[in-house]
Amino acid sequence: MTNQSVIFFDIDGTLLNHEKELPLSTKKAIFKLKEEGHIIAIATGRAPFMFEDLRRELDINTFISYNGQYVVLNGEVLYTNPLNISSLEKLTEAALLNNHPVVFMDHEDMRANVPEHEYIKESIDTLKIGRFPTHDALYYKGRDLYQSLLFCPVGAENQYERDFKDFDFIRWHPVSVDVLPRGGSKAKGIEKIAEKLGIPEENLFAFGDGLNDMEMLLTVKNSVAMGNAEKKVKEAARYVTKSVEDDGIYHGLQMVGLL
């Protein structure tokens, strides 16, 4: 391949395995792509401060965070799409009545509306990022927030989906869902980067495994689902590679002709 491509990688379950480790084969593959002049980007639901170490390790300065709501190109903010704060305040009030905590997130930090809760610890623990949200019930006031976390059991988000039409709710853990601006997605972030760089759709690639990757996989022409993805995520992609635990990124890059 002689034309420059942009390859977008999800983090959890895609770049990182289930122990939150970066497989050696993945790291070697990414640096090989960079040597050949391709652009490597991250597309994640995580906040920017949750994957700084990974960006440094892979020398990546273009990324889509918060599922498309905070997009950075070559180290500069390209696009933001904050939450509706008035609606978020009402959501938080409703969640409190149900003992469902909320975490507010901007590009620098995350703060919880309650001092502590078992759901927060249980879900954030799985990310292995070495930090937890501190308590500030009014953190949403006077600032742009790009995503919130609503902590509730599976199925409990259905009521919030009916009552709060300004938001999309995407489950990422048995006790937590991402709260996004309605219609926001990784696909929108990819569109912004491709438009800015003038990259044609045939030179865009995306790898993912989660429910929050589905629109990205449906939209990007050369999309690859990981072998560890759920069935409906695999069905959204053009290709399906091996599991992240089985050198899935390396294998997938070979499948699409990049390696």
DSSP 116: -
Sheet strand arrangement including 102-105? 134-135, 110-112, 102-105, 147-150, 176-181, 167-173
Is the backbone of residue 104 left (phi > 0), alpha (psi -120 to 50) or beta? beta
Of 26, 12, 2, which Cα lies nearest the Cα of 251? Answer: 26
Of 185, 196, 164, 171, which Cα lies nearest the Cα of 74? Answer: 196
Count CB atoms within 10 A of the CB of residue 109: 15
Name the catalytic one among 10, 168, 209, 213.
Answer: 10
Q: Would you call 248 exposed, middle or buried from its count of C-beta atoms within 10 A (0-12, 13-18, 19+)?
A: buried
209 classed as catalytic:
no
- Residues annotated catalytic, as ranges: 10
